[in-house]
A and B are shown apart, each in its own frame.
Chain A
Amino acid sequence: MTDWPPPQRCLLPDGRLHLSDGPIDLVIGLEGTRPAIQSAREAAFRALCGVLPALAAELPLLRSPLLGRPPEAKHPVACRMVEACWPLRASFITPMAAVAGAVAEHVLAAIAAVPGVSAAHVNNGGDIAVHLTPGASLRVGLAERPDRPGLGPVAHLRAEDGVGGVATSGWRGRSFSLGIADAVTVLAPRAAEADAAATLIANAVNAEHPAILRRPAEELDPDTDLAGQGVTVAVGDLPAPLLEAALDAGLRQAELLLARGQIRGAFLSLGGRMRVTGTAEIATLGAPAAFLPEGAGRAGRE
């Protein structure tokens, strides 16, 4: 069991690169000179090799709640997971909250090091690491419901916005959530931070109501990092004031992170209602995307 095959790679017909390794599912868009794109594809593949087995080896540590002093992770991706989650430990959090973003960021770093790449994004099942050089831009579709990809509002990112990561979290997504948000999308300087913050804000969009069904996480997954906590499995019809209050609770968490400079902006969605906070990039809300890089927060492979 120690010798795992390398990740699978294939080119999608539109030229994007698809890398997959177990639950890691990366769709990578590249812009730049032709030789640079060739080199970047190779660099991305090499960067992903070994990541999953290394993270798997450190899983017990990465699934432990952050308390006391920072755990000593070994692999660079594991270190980034810890680093991104550490400032958020006032709330319950484990480094796993940043796993998707940290993997995307790790692969993106290898791509960004290739000279001649003008823009790149690495989408790991909805958690996206973004690299933009001056003059380049990226339009990111924001999902109001991650299980229903569609033309929602759009964030228009430019190099000067300082956004290197876009991540989405919500109970309908591929990971467990303690909250009831349909989707929380966060823009942050780096993807691991975006991922962790989205998890935290989505957890904060919460309420108590009989129509909200929760189950102990360990009843669903014996190895979960959320053992002892109730994860949301269904949200029925909720009264409007409750929805507003839940969104406001999430908004307070987002604004706290915004004030501390940990995120650049956040978009919260619940029952068709929204909250928006942060930089002007989300000011373009409402313009439908002509180009959607893999819908934000899309669920994993079937």
Chain B
Amino acid sequence: MVDRTSLFGAAEADGIVRCDACPVLCRIRPGRAGACSRYANEEGRLVRTDPLVLLTSAVEEGRPVVPFLDAAQEWSGEVTPAEPVFVTAIGAGTTYPDYKPAPFIVGSRHHGVDTVTVVTEGIFSYCGLKVKIDTDRHLGPECAPVMHEGEQIGHVTTAEYGSQMLSLGGVRHLTGGSKREGSVTCAAMLALCRKEAIEVTIPDGARLSIQAGAAPVVNGVRETRMRVGCGSAAIGIFAQQFFGHVDEVVVLDDHITGVLSEHQAGKCLSMRPTGLRVRGRRSTPGRYFQVAHPGTGWGGTDITDPLTVLESIDPKLAWPGMRVLMTSTTGEDALYLELDDALRPIPAPMPEAVRRTVARIGENCEPAMTSILFMAGAGGSLRAGVTENPILLTRRVQAGEVRVTMGGAPCYLYPGGGITLMADILRIPDKAFGYVPTPALVAPIEFTLRADLYAALGGHVEHAIALSALIERHGAESLAAPWMSANPWPDAPG
């Protein structure tokens, strides 16, 4: 066991703290930072600017954040606190240089197993955000640049089922372009990682406001529903409920527009052909591609007047009084029509049964959401703070013997070489992210493993500190945050 205080600095008179991270040996007054701005004096203690966050496994969710060792809850001196505590890397600091042991190597017992959690803040030059935006509206063509404050910070990538994906950040925008491009990209990513909203624009596409966990705002309009399915799927799902109440249903969709009477679902119900023909390229009966251009109108098309998609009505098949429903895939836009004696479609009040089915389409749509995954490579030198032989750590992580978390949030490990991680930023505590002006993002990362395995990896065992001792020394400068109940407790695997 090593006294961390002696590794980090020493207290002097008048609340001044001497930092010995480097030979300048700054003496720092309370409330001020040292010459490097990385270490600061907070009420007589040498700290990183962000406090270390301890996540307690709180029984109830949403319990208020309390200082760890307040008077009411005096530390009893037990080996482990009554309530399980996990030390996150948020505010832990990075070590200088990397081959010094990581800021905190914590030995604790969870479920009777000796575990070691190595806690550090990683500087991620290679990192980006994968953004899933639940909308059918056209945001921009694939590969189109995503702009923020005049700089390209990412691009439009694939369309997924009911969603549009953006790729933001990445090393080429952070450090591969101009200094300003890097700064703007870094600031945008930092804001999103801190669960704040930012506005982005896509040339020849949409203006968007995105925020993790919130509905996207497309061209100033807040998206509410995620489509129930494509136009053809909507026809298939609701055919029976429409049957008998309308003679024809057109479900407008950017991908596949469905026409009920012609669709297999209508055929199975022996529906009478209506002679109604929509624009676009027929894929299979009742399923049409490219009915309109992508846009922000009905069903992700540029259509605001649905009648314009009707190419023709065959007078040999259609009949006066024929009932036609046109709807979007979310049910947000719908128009009920009846043909007059000249077989012209005339808007009419929607019958109650039809209205109910349109409402059901809406009911089956999930709330539109923006979801953001943080993706980064932890294969760099930060591993040296964990063990003397970094490849051993990489292999054990890949083998599932070391649990990797970011601020306690579970990570998905990409298969293949290196430690490339993805984590849902909503599961990472607030204020977990920072930046360095390189520019690069600073994010917490914790490696949890069995104590014997850590020793076998060549870990810095001599720097391990008992959880109780860590709380005793740093508890007062730490924040205790309730455990996010959606996150599994990061026990050592196996």
Contact A222 B437 (CB under 8 A): no
Cα separation A56 to B34 with both chains bound (whole Å):
14
- A92 within 8 Å of B (CB atoms): no
Contact B22 A221 (CB under 8 A): no
Interface residues of A in 1-54 (CB under 8 A from B): 1, 4-6, 8, 10, 12-14, 18, 21-23, 25, 52-53
- A300 within 8 Å of B (CB atoms): yes
Contact A301 B176 (CB under 8 A): no
B167-184 CB mask vs A (1 if < 8 Å, else 0) is: 000011011101110010
Contact B176 A5 (CB under 8 A): no
Selected from B99, B125, B434, the residue in CB contact (under 8 A) with A302 is B434
Contact B24 A302 (CB under 8 A): no
Contact A174 B438 (CB under 8 A): no
Do A22 and B29 contact each other (CB < 8 Å), given the known contacts A56-B24, A301-B437, A302-B434?
Answer: no
Q: Which secondary structure dominates chain A's binding surface? A: loop
The chain B residue sitting closest to A298, CB to CB, is B437
B341 CB → nearest A CB, Å: 67
Residues of the B chain whose Cβ atoms lie less than 8 Å from the Cβ of A295: 179
Residues of the A chain whose Cβ atoms lie less than 8 Å from the Cβ of B391: none
- B203 within 8 Å of A (CB atoms): no
Do A301 and B32 contact each other (CB < 8 Å), given the known contacts A4-B23, A22-B22?
Answer: no
- A150 within 8 Å of B (CB atoms): yes
Contact B178 A13 (CB under 8 A): no
Task: Classify chain A's interface size.
Answer: 35 or more
Contact B22 A18 (CB under 8 A): no
Interface residues of A in 112-171 (CB under 8 A from B): 141, 149-151
Selected from B49, B435, B438, the residue in CB contact (under 8 A) with A18 is B438
Interface residues of A in 247-302 (CB under 8 A from B): 289-295, 298-302
Contact B29 A219 (CB under 8 A): yes
- B436 within 8 Å of A (CB atoms): yes
Cα separation A302 to B99 with both chains bound (whole Å):
21
Selected from A292, A300, A302, the residue in CB contact (under 8 A) with B179 is A292
Contact A302 B38 (CB under 8 A): yes
- B26 within 8 Å of A (CB atoms): yes
The chain A residue sitting closest to B26, CB to CB, is A223
Q: Which secondary structure dominates chain B's binding surface? A: loop
Interface residues of A in 201-249 (CB under 8 A from B): 219-223
Interface residues of A in 38-96 (CB under 8 A from B): 52-53, 56-57, 59
Cα separation A241 to B270 with both chains bound (whole Å):
87
Contact B29 A301 (CB under 8 A): no
Residues of the A chain whose Cβ atoms lie less than 8 Å from the Cβ of B23: 1, 4, 22, 52-53, 56-57
Do A221 and B29 contact each other (CB < 8 Å), given the known contacts A4-B22, A149-B183?
Answer: yes
Residues of the A chain whose Cβ atoms lie less than 8 Å from the Cβ of B97: 5-6, 8
Cα separation A123 to B184 with both chains bound (whole Å):
20
- B20 within 8 Å of A (CB atoms): yes
Cα separation A295 to B16 with both chains bound (whole Å):
33
Selected from A13, A23, A289, A298, the residue in CB contact (under 8 A) with B22 is A23
Interface residues of B in 245-277 (CB under 8 A from A): none
Cα separation A23 to B39 with both chains bound (whole Å):
11
Count A-B pairs with CB separation below 8 Å: 97
**Residues of B within 8 Å of A, CB-based: how many?**
40
A77 CB → nearest B CB, Å: 14
Cα separation A270 to B23 with both chains bound (whole Å):
35
Residues of the A chain whose Cβ atoms lie less than 8 Å from the Cβ of B20: 1
Do A292 and B24 contact each other (CB < 8 Å), given the known contacts A5-B97, A12-B125, A222-B16?
Answer: no
The chain A residue sitting closest to B22, CB to CB, is A22
Residues of the A chain whose Cβ atoms lie less than 8 Å from the Cβ of B176: 13-14
Selected from B35, B171, B381, the residue in CB contact (under 8 A) with A22 is B35
Contact B36 A220 (CB under 8 A): no
Contact A56 B25 (CB under 8 A): yes
Cα separation A188 to B313 with both chains bound (whole Å):
80
Residues of the B chain whose Cβ atoms lie less than 8 Å from the Cβ of A22: 21-24, 35-36, 96
Contact B32 A221 (CB under 8 A): yes
A99 CB → nearest B CB, Å: 10
Selected from B14, B25, B28, B438, the residue in CB contact (under 8 A) with A12 is B438
Selected from B37, B38, B100, B171, the residue in CB contact (under 8 A) with A13 is B171
Cα separation A222 to B36 with both chains bound (whole Å):
16
Residues of the B chain whose Cβ atoms lie less than 8 Å from the Cβ of A290: 178
Do A220 and B435 contact each other (CB < 8 Å), given the known contacts A22-B22, A300-B37?
Answer: no
Residues of the B chain whose Cβ atoms lie less than 8 Å from the Cβ of A292: 178-180
B432 CB → nearest A CB, Å: 15
B66-104 CB mask vs A (1 if < 8 Å, else 0) is: 000000000000000000000000000000111110000
Contact B435 A302 (CB under 8 A): yes
Residues of the A chain whose Cβ atoms lie less than 8 Å from the Cβ of B24: 22-23, 52, 56, 59
Residues of the A chain whose Cβ atoms lie less than 8 Å from the Cβ of B180: 149-151, 292
Cα separation A162 to B66 with both chains bound (whole Å):
60
Residues of the B chain whose Cβ atoms lie less than 8 Å from the Cβ of A221: 26-29, 32
Contact A23 B183 (CB under 8 A): no
B273-308 CB mask vs A (1 if < 8 Å, else 0) is: 000000000000000000000000000000000000
Do A8 and B437 contact each other (CB < 8 Å), given the known contacts A22-B22, A52-B24?
Answer: no
B344-375 CB mask vs A (1 if < 8 Å, else 0) is: 00000000000000000000000000000000
Contact A13 B125 (CB under 8 A): yes
Residues of the B chain whose Cβ atoms lie less than 8 Å from the Cβ of A1: 20, 23, 25
B172 CB → nearest A CB, Å: 8
Cα separation A271 to B346 with both chains bound (whole Å):
64
Tell me which of A22, A59, A291 has the highest count of chain B C-beta atoms within 10 A of its own C-beta. Answer: A22
Selected from B22, B32, B37, B437, the residue in CB contact (under 8 A) with A220 is B32
Contact A302 B37 (CB under 8 A): yes
B109-150 CB mask vs A (1 if < 8 Å, else 0) is: 000000000000000010000000000000000000000000
23 contacts between A and B (CB under 8 A): A1-B23, A1-B25, A5-B99, A10-B381, A12-B438, A13-B171, A13-B176, A18-B438, A22-B23, A22-B36, A23-B24, A23-B35, A56-B23, A221-B29, A223-B27, A290-B178, A292-B179, A293-B179, A295-B179, A300-B36, A300-B437, A301-B37, A302-B434
Known: A56-B24, A302-B437. 6 other contacts (CB 8 A): A12-B438, A22-B22, A220-B29, A221-B32, A295-B179, A300-B35
Binding site for B on A (CB under 8 A): 1, 4-6, 8, 10, 12-14, 18, 21-23, 25, 52-53, 56-57, 59, 141, 149-151, 174, 219-223, 289-295, 298-302
9 closest A-B pairs (Cβ-Cβ)?
A22-B22, A23-B35, A56-B23, A292-B179, A23-B36, A8-B97, A53-B23, A13-B175, A222-B27
